[in-house]
Amino acid sequence: MQKRPEIKDYIRTIVDFPHEGIMFRDVTTLFADPRGFRMAVDQMLHPYMGLEIDKVVGLEARGFILGGAIAHQLAKGFVPVRKKGKLPGTTISQDYKLEYGEAIVEIHDDALLPGEKVLVVDDLLATGGTAEAGIKLIERLGAEIVGCSFIVDLPELGGRQRLESMGIEVNCLCEFEGA
């Protein structure tokens, strides 16, 4: 009897991308497979079924793909957190460090209302810098984080602990060792 595929089975690893020593976990192979993509969206959504959620926030860029699909399934609005300079309206911004550099993310200043319940989604949790920056933006607008959902966790980089130390619930579908 054949083993049922798991999320991890749909993700390929690209060695030394974008820098030497990095094992890049490429979820585009997961997105390209209809069964794998459906499984990922369903599993990311499952822990939050029955909870009050007003909006889904997707972190640039693969979080847009996941966030759009999850927002659709929940029949809720979708809000992007984008890299600096990509949103056309009035924004607020947050700088952060990531595993190999620094960046700034932004959100429209009217994207969320005070008290709205938000689910944050992205493909991968490494150091947690991008997610923390997104969470800070959401909280500055007065919205409340219901949880964060990721496909991949890289536990050695400490992102989960970083977010959980902020009081955020974190769900990941699979883990990979190494950076």
Catalytic residues: 62, 99
Q: Decide if 14 contacts 32 (C-beta within 8 A).
A: no
E strand or H helix that includes residue 96:
strand 91-98
In this structure, what token pair is assigned to residue 49?
A: 């079924």
Beta bridge partners of 58: 80, 121
Which one-letter amino acid corresponds to residue 29?
T
Beta-carbon contacts of 17 under 8 Å, excluding residues fewer than 6 positions away, are 24
In the chain, the amino acid numbered 152 is V
92-102: string of b/e by CB count within 10 Å (b at 16+)? Answer: eebebeeeeee
CB burial of residue 60 (10 Å; 0-12, 13-18, 19+): middle
